[in-house]
Amino acid sequence: MTEEQLFKNRHSLSHIMTMAVLELYPDAGLGVGPVIDNGFYQDYDLPESISDELLPKIQKRMREIIKQGIEFKKYEMDFDKALDQYKDDPYKTELITDLKAAGEASLSFYKSDWFENLCKGPHVDTTKEIDVVSFKLTKIAGAYWRGDEKNKMLTRIYGVAFANKEDLKAHLKMLEEAKRRDHRKLGKDLDLFLFSEKVGPGLPLWTPKGTALRNVLDDFVWKLRKQRGYEKVEIPHVTKKDLYETSGHWEKFKDDLFRFKTREGHEFAMKPMNCPHHTQIFDRHPHSYRDMPQRYANSTMVYRDEQTGELHGLSRVRCITQDDAHAFVRHSQVSEEMLKIWEIIEIFYKAVGFEDLKVELSFHDPNESEKYLGGPEVWETAENALREIVKSKGVEAEEKPGEAAFYGPKIDFIAKDAIGRTWQVATIQMDMNMPERFDLNCIDENGEKERVVMIHAAIMGSIERFLSIIIEHHAGAFPLWMSPVQVRIASVGESHTDATLKLVNELSMQGIRAEADVSDATVGAKIRNAAKSKTPYTIIFGDKEKEGEDFQIRVFGSEEGVVVAQGDLVKHIQEKVLEQQG
């Protein structure tokens, strides 16, 4: 089955589902119902709350409708007639009015038996084209009309659909595995992070173990950056709006910011990104061509006023920690500098368990130039430069028009996790617009001003979002080098408590993340608790260990242990860490 046919199937299933829902609730209001990854959804304004228990009934009726072989027929209608026909339907009226304002020539509708709906299409010619066992309704959720929390909350019904029963079965199996790996559940089970109603939604709090995990990853990125000439900088969490007006962010994102006024009447915002601040550090004094590149690294939080209904665990939060870095370079240095960042990405993602990264080129959409800063010549120059860099690496890269940042094109890296899902992770962005807007230069060999290029480099991007991915990829069983607790020492009895605590302290002093279990639990229970916490190494400390005999290390996920002399434990762990980091 082609992607086009699968799209038609999914879109048509959204209409068929609506037919089944309207039989149950004839007066239901209809929101939007698009095709999404792997399926579809439809929003409804229903007279009562419904639960997932209703889904099998709706699904059964959908299959009955499909077997009838109903045709989908398209027709067009002018705006005035449509507005008159749907004057009592606030949802249709709003959509039609917006389409008219956008300059659409006419409206398209699709009719299937007694049901008709405003829709761009496309759809199947007849429901006979749809396999009745290739789809499943999956869940019910709340969704604000048009994504605006000021609007009414609607009922959204989700479904998945595939070309055949086998593909559906494989997807449902993946969903079950995803549920088992859900970072929100594992974050609680492994005591990594939490959310507090008193603090507010989308604002995670990090426990000692979760903070250790964050720091280990960030420290590794910093180590790789430091080796390539980066220097750490720090910036405040608030700024006057003037900075973002100059950068262009205010016009684009002012409605997404946490904004406030000072007692003196100045308008400030919690920073939603770091790049404009870094321009000011670069511009603090003149730079000779001999000083270039200038490289700044800064892991710091930024803030976005996300809608409550769109928040999801660590995947979508209101405070985002960016492992941000910016290099200010000459045009002749762009390729070399971006390849250095690419090297960091390859090393880091191999270490965290993603070896084969797909590469995409995110370019601007020339048909919507108003969305971007800078003229067509600037974009053409930047995009051609990225093409050459990808070519020099000998990799294939899909070009994605319309996916660029508003200030410049990007090289995006896509990872596939343990259960087959793909995630956009690292990104390298070339920015010729910010230096133009802030008048950033260096002095060239002839004593003349030379406009610089700004390169944005995020390895993890949002550390919160990255951790949601990595927790689920490893199902919480992190490799030794990044695990918040690398080794757990469990005492056999009370007579071993002091020696166990002393060993943990000695390991900690030498940089090993160790913890003790000196509880009254049995040895068997301690072993099970260590496995439950997914600790990479567990050592049972008893009489033999107290007398100095070799450590018998239990390795999580392996039936084979490791025997290490007590004096070699630190060296063994350090060597394993370096081996895993590559």
- What are the distances in angstroms from CA 190 to CA 200, 483, 485, 531, 575? 22, 11, 11, 11, 26
Helix residue ranges, H only, 440-522: 463-474, 497-509
- Closest C-alpha to 239, from 264, 263, 259, 253: 259
Radius of gyration of the chain (CA): 28
User: Which residue in 43, 323, 324, 412 is the catalytic one?
Assistant: 324
pLDDT on residue 382: 85
574 an active-site residue?
Answer: no
DSSP state of 550: P
Residue with tokens 């951790």: 467
Compute the distance between CA of residue 256 and CA of residue 251 in angstroms, rounded to an integer: 11
278 an active-site residue?
Answer: no
Domains of the chain: 3-167 (3.30.980.10), 189-474 (3.30.930.10), 487-581 (3.40.50.800)
User: Which residue in 10, 326, 496, 526 is the catalytic one?
Assistant: 326
User: Which residue in 410, 488, 534, 554 is the catalytic one?
Assistant: 410
User: Which residue in 136, 183, 209, 304 is the catalytic one?
Assistant: 304
Helix residue ranges, H only, 480-549: 497-509, 523-532, 543-546
pLDDT on residue 376: 82
Compute the distance between CA of residue 304 and CA of residue 147 in angstroms, rounded to an integer: 16
85 an active-site residue?
Answer: no
Cβ-contact 218, 323 below 8 angstroms:
yes
User: Which residue in 119, 275, 319, 442 is the catalytic one?
Assistant: 275
User: Which residue in 294, 322, 429, 486 is the catalytic one?
Assistant: 322
User: Which residue in 92, 225, 271, 456 is the catalytic one?
Assistant: 456
Compute the distance between CA of residue 158 and CA of residue 171 in angstroms, rounded to an integer: 14
Compute the distance between CA of residue 38 and CA of residue 304 in angstroms, rounded to an integer: 28
10 an active-site residue?
Answer: no
Cβ-contact 349, 341 below 8 angstroms:
no
520 an active-site residue?
Answer: no
pTM, entire model: 0.85
568 an active-site residue?
Answer: no
Cα torsion 295, 272, 235, 465 to 10°: value is: -70
Cβ-contact 489, 460 below 8 angstroms:
no
87 an active-site residue?
Answer: no
> Residue ranges of the chain with pLDDT lower than 70?
none
